[in-house]
């Protein structure tokens, strides 16, 4: 492993500080009853800490240069290495391999943060995810309405679980040192499944498509007029020229349901 070349394209910024690694695992609430999925084992620093605290760890890694090293390091342990590109495997495959509920804990490769969050939050076997992300992404995940960070990612995460930032992490904790600071966020997935689907997510994306425009202009095209949308917004307690960022997640759900049902009675 002496002359390992870090690959930017795989988002390789590794951690070594044992205190930090242990803190992440403790914040994730990992115990000997837990099965953990990790995305991106790297040189196995977080994997090793997870292995000490968890019952079983399934760790993905895409970089073939790391395979032999990892295989030797974790031979005979409770770590099962999955030498796969996580974006290429199906949820069905993953759920079969893991065989039940799991916690996701990872220092994520930043180039796939959003797709990973979106996808894993939808997986009914996920209990929680505790992930290192860029600080600005963490701020978007936990944002409150009426702030610049509040948007599709906030609503997407808030639809499936409750999110909190558990720590800030200075860029100097990584090697190589990235250009931005990071943070660890934890999202506990709600136990009850949301019945809202892709159409709702698309509706939210549409609502935020032009942030400075009125919400009623952004979401036209659902067989309802701009005036009708404005009437609904007013009945919900908003101004008729409300913008997407003003609506809480619950109000987004309410607005979507009302528009779909055209049942414009507001309690």
Positions touching ligand SAM (CB under 6 A) are 10-15, 39-42, 45-46, 60-63, 85-87, 107, 109, 112
Q: Cβ 3 to ligand SAM, closest distance in Å?
A: 16
∠ CA 26-27-28, nearest 5°, is 85
∠ CA 40-46-49, nearest 5°, is 145
∠ CA 185-9-134, nearest 5°, is 20
Choose between 46 and 183: whose C-beta lies nearer to ligand SAM.
46
Q: For residues 214 and 12, give the distance between their C-alpha atoms in angstroms, rounded to a whole number.
A: 41
Q: Cβ 92 to ligand SAM, closest distance in Å?
A: 17
Choose between 70 and 219: whose C-beta lies nearer to ligand SAM.
70
Query: Which residue has the CB atom at the shortest distance from ligand SAM?
Result: 40
Q: Cβ 139 to ligand SAM, closest distance in Å?
A: 19
Choose between 7 and 262: whose C-beta lies nearer to ligand SAM.
7
Q: Which helix (H) or strand (E) element contains residue 180?
A: none
Choose between 60 and 208: whose C-beta lies nearer to ligand SAM.
60
Q: Cβ 64 to ligand SAM, closest distance in Å?
A: 10
Choose between 40 and 161: whose C-beta lies nearer to ligand SAM.
40
Q: Cβ 237 to ligand SAM, closest distance in Å?
A: 43
Q: Cβ 31 to ligand SAM, closest distance in Å?
A: 20
Q: How far is CA 9 from CA 5, 34, 126, 193, in A?
A: 12, 31, 27, 35
Beta strands, E only, the chain: 14-15, 35-39, 56-60, 79-82, 102-107, 126-134, 161-169, 174-175, 182-189
Q: Count Cβ atoms below 10 Å from residue 68 Cβ, excluding itself.
A: 10
Alpha helices in 189-225 (DSSP H): 198-207, 215-218
CA nearest 22: which of 177, 141, 167? 167
Choose between 86 and 98: whose C-beta lies nearer to ligand SAM.
86
């Amino acid at each position: 492993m002496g002359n390992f070349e870090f690959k930017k394209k795989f988002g390789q910024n590794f951690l070594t500080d044992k205190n930090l690694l242990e803190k992440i695992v403790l914040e994730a609430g990992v115990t000997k009853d837990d099965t953990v999925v990790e995305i991106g084992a790297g040189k196995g620093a977080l994997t090793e800490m997870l292995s000490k605290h968890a019952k079983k760890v399934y760790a993905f890694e895409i970089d073939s240069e790391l395979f032999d090293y990892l295989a030797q390091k974790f031979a005979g342990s409770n770590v099962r290495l999955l030498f796969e590109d996580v974006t290429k495997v199906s949820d069905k495959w993953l759920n079969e391999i893991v065989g039940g509920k799991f916690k996701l804990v990872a220092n994520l490769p930043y180039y796939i943060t959003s797709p990973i969050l979106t996808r894993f939050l939808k997986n009914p076997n996920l209990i929680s995810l505790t992930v290192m992300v860029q600080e600005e992404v963490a701020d978007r995940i936990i944002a409150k309405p009426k702030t610049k960070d509040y948007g599709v990612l906030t609503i997407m995460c808030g639809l499936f679980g409750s999110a909190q930032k558990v720590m800030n992490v200075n860029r100097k904790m990584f090697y190589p040192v990235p250009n931005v600071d990071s943070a660890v966020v934890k999202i506990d997935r709600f136990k009850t499944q949301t019945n809202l689907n892709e159409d709702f997510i698309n509706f939210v994306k549409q609502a935020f498509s032009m942030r400075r425009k009125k919400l009623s202009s952004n979401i036209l095209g659902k067989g309802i007029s701009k005036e009708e949308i404005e009437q609904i917004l007013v009945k919900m307690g908003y101004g008729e020229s409300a913008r997407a960022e003003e609506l809480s997640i619950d109000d987004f759900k309410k607005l979507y349901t009302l528009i779909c049902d055209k049942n414009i009675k507001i309690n």
